[in-house]
Amino acid sequence: MANSSTPAQSKPLILDSLPNYSIPERGCSQRTQQRIDLIVLAIEALELGGSERMLATAKKLELQEIINNRVVLWRLRCTNPWRRSYTRRSLNLDEAKALVVVANYRARQLTVLIRQLLLAHQQMREKGLPLEQHFRLSEYLERFRAHFRSRMNPRRAKVADYTSSDEKLNELALSLLGQLLFCTGTAGAQRLWSSLFDGEVR
């Protein structure tokens, strides 16, 4: 569903690269919104100044009408029901697309690092070594855990389950790395977008 406040002729063309799924009038599902925010959270943990880079990317991709400043970006991400600052509103289709396009672009810029971290994880597991012994991987995991714990609502059962141990948060962080790698290849944005609606649309 397009944002009614945005004239059709000014709609960013890059959004047309993603298919229009039929979603409820109220907007995207909570599950879709939660998954988008977690993917963006993983990108933030990968690079310092992640929010600023995402805003710069939105401008580069001519998405300023949807994501034009830090406050708007924060509000869009607060549609994740796991967040402490959950706003109880829903992303419309264009807003969700814009976040996915920006996340995909940032992931593609970080492809080498993402591959290195996933390879490091595999090697550390094969050698039976703690992940903390790999500096760059440990740095990513520590930053992700800190972001998650500071921004998510511990009164949500699933959040409390994740935050009960560093190991569970590490598993989530590594799973998100896999998703980011998934969207760096050919038609990555389209594949990521489609995966967000698995089981929700026909």
> What count of other Cβ atoms lies within 10 Å of the Cβ of residue 164?
11
pLDDT in tens, 60-98: 999 999 999 999 999 999 999 999 999 889 999 999 999
Specify the residue for token string 């710069």: 56
Domain assignments of the chain as residue spans, ordered by start: 25-184
Q: Is 6's pLDDT higher than 50? A: no
Q: Is 7's pLDDT higher than 80? A: no
pLDDT band at 37 (very low <50, low <70, confident <90, very high): very high
Q: Is 199's pLDDT higher than 90? A: no
The pTM score is 0.89
Find how far residue 27's CA is from the centre of its chain. Answer: 18
CB 193 within 8 A of CB 168: no
186-196 average pLDDT score: 89
Q: Give the per-residue pLDDT at 10.
A: 63
Q: Is 184's pLDDT higher than 60? A: yes
CB 36 within 8 A of CB 99: yes
d(CA 195, CA 189): 10
pLDDT in tens, 149-177: 999 999 999 999 999 999 999 999 999 99
What rounded mean pLDDT belongs to the chain? 89
Q: Is 9's pLDDT higher than 50? A: no
| CB-based contacts of 80, cutoff 8 Å, min separation 6 | 33, 34, 36, 37, 38, 86
